[in-house]
Amino acid sequence: MSPIHQLDQLPEPDPQEVAEWLASVDGAVGAVGPQRTARLLRRIVDHARRTGVPLPPPSVTPYVNTIPTAAEPAYPGDEAMEARITAWNRWNAAAMVTRGNERGGLGGHMATYASAWLYEVGFQHFFKGKDADGSGDQLYIQGHASPGVYARAFLEGRLNEADLDRFRMEAAGGGLPSYPHPRRLPWLWEFPTVSMGLGPLSAIYQARFNRYLHHRGIKDTSHSHVWAFLGDGEMDEPESTAALALAAREELDNLTFVINCNLQRLDGPVRIMQELEAQFRAAGWNVVKVPWGAEWDGLLAADFDGSLLDALDTLPDGQLQTFAARDGAYIREHLFTGALADLARPYSDADLARIIGTSRGGHEPRKVHAAYRAALDHRGAPTVVLLQTVKGWTLGPGFESRNANHQMKKLSGASSHEAPTTR
């Protein structure tokens, strides 16, 4: 017996028409296969939705960038100069943790701020200070990224080298706190965060409170935006997702979550980007995905039957992480097998290592900028920006995508290939 669907219980005025549509689907599957048929049906559903047919949005979209490269807005800054600034901040963040641990094993995290563009694009082009209209923006910074924020404050002249040398040395007086700590450093930090889920929960209620103040005429917060920077592993904390539906129900388009999807955590696998997308879409959020860098465009343009996307969509998170730590020959052998071999043939092993291994959307300022612009322009719902990165990017083969990099506290001369450069 065939399964009974809800629509089967309603009277059908034209069974013959339904049969013809179903026969068309059967014919497509027989002629071009199920994967190609799925793509055809997605295009039909998208077209129907654009023409006003009341269809619910999909829970998961294809594993590609929400904003194609050709649709990205012009970048407003000097990319070469910003690349130098970002490299300096990334280097100084790693150096301050290294120096602290050479002196006394103070701990700290070096790999998180390697995804520096997530923050640098925001600081350069989006975040509004307290002297802006209203009360400015509110930032919930990922706790493990604090060395990078200190490094930026140093470059701006708000901290000096002696301050950086007292990272995690609060007991001696005047040291910089390990994580965002508004009581210890009120001029820099506004909210306490680490990675236990309280940041995202607090950010939602902050955005809701901003709306409360504005709607009741207490304070003009209409130009204030709340940004919460989070790790993908953190999203498994119950508090991280406890109020997602509240944010959507209240239409908090003054709120953006930025999730650093580097596929790594201390205690097991993380939710991949597609799982996070489904979770947020189900709660009513707008989702902007940024998995791949611009160098993926050629591969994806040649993926006519969607085989590469299917392979990526079914990869365990650990395997994609492994690709970032292995050479092109390994990637060719373990990803581009069978029908995918022809897709990879025009590319050298070095090309595959660069594209598949490290070309991630979260490491390209144009893609980060486009995603943030789309988040601010969206109305009627909060937005989550899902950016794929390589944890420890630019810190060298001893760091990039290594399982141990959460606990690695020192750079060696061989481990890092990014003393301040323009990468």
* pLDDT tens, residue by residue, 69-85: 999 999 999 999 999 99
Residue 402 is predicted with a pLDDT of: 52
Q: Determine the residue type at 259.
A: I
Report CA 293 to chain centroid distance, whole Å.
Answer: 12
Residue 423 CB contacts under 8 Å (≥ 6 apart), including other chains: 83, 87, 394
Cα→Cα distances 362→46, 135, 299, 317, 352, Å: 27, 28, 18, 17, 18
Residue 414 is predicted with a pLDDT of: 47
- Once rounded to an integer, what is the mean pLDDT over residues 409-420? 51
| Residues 141, 142, 145: CA angle, nearest 5 degrees | 95
Q: Work out the pLDDT band at 57, boundaries 50, 70, 90.
A: confident
Question: What is the dihedral sign for C-alpha 17, 19, 25, 31?
Answer: negative
- Once rounded to an integer, what is the mean pLDDT over residues 324-333? 91
Residue 66 is predicted with a pLDDT of: 97
Task: Rank 1-5, 57-61, 362-366 by mean pLDDT and report only the highest.
Answer: 362-366
Residue 102 DSSP SS3: helix
Distance in angstroms (rounded) separating the CA atoms of residues 134 and 200: 23
Given a contact cutoff of 8 angstroms between Cβ atoms, the answer to whether 413 and 309 are in contact is: no
- Once rounded to an integer, what is the mean pLDDT over residues 225-241? 92
Q: Determine the residue type at 361.
A: G
* pLDDT tens, residue by residue, 99-137: 877 776 676 666 678 889 999 999 999 999 988 677 899
Distance in angstroms (rounded) separating the CA atoms of residues 292 and 363: 9
Residue 373 CB contacts under 8 Å (≥ 6 apart), including other chains: 73
Q: Determine the residue type at 68.
A: P
Cα→Cα distances 141→49, 85, 301, Å: 37, 19, 36
Q: Work out the pLDDT band at 408, boundaries 50, 70, 90.
A: low
Q: What is the CA radius of gyration of the chain?
A: 23
Q: Determine the residue type at 312.
A: L
Q: For the chain, how many residues are written?
A: 423
* pLDDT tens, residue by residue, 339-392: 899 999 999 999 999 999 889 999 999 999 999 999 999 999 999 999 999 876
Considering the chain, what is the average pLDDT of its residues? 87
Residue 126 is predicted with a pLDDT of: 97
pLDDT-above-90 percentage for the chain: 55
Q: Where are the domains of the chain?
A: 13-48, 69-293+360-406
10 Å CB burial of residue 306 (0-12, 13-18, 19+) is middle
Give the neighbor-by-neighbor strand order of the sheet with 286-290. 138-140, 226-231, 255-261, 383-388, 286-290
CATH 3.30.930.10 fits 69-293+360-406, yes or no: no
Closest by alpha carbon to 68, among 257, 253, 291? Answer: 291
Given a contact cutoff of 8 angstroms between Cβ atoms, the answer to whether 388 and 360 are in contact is: yes
Distance in angstroms (rounded) separating the CA atoms of residues 94 and 396: 12
Residue 296 has pLDDT above 60, yes or no: yes
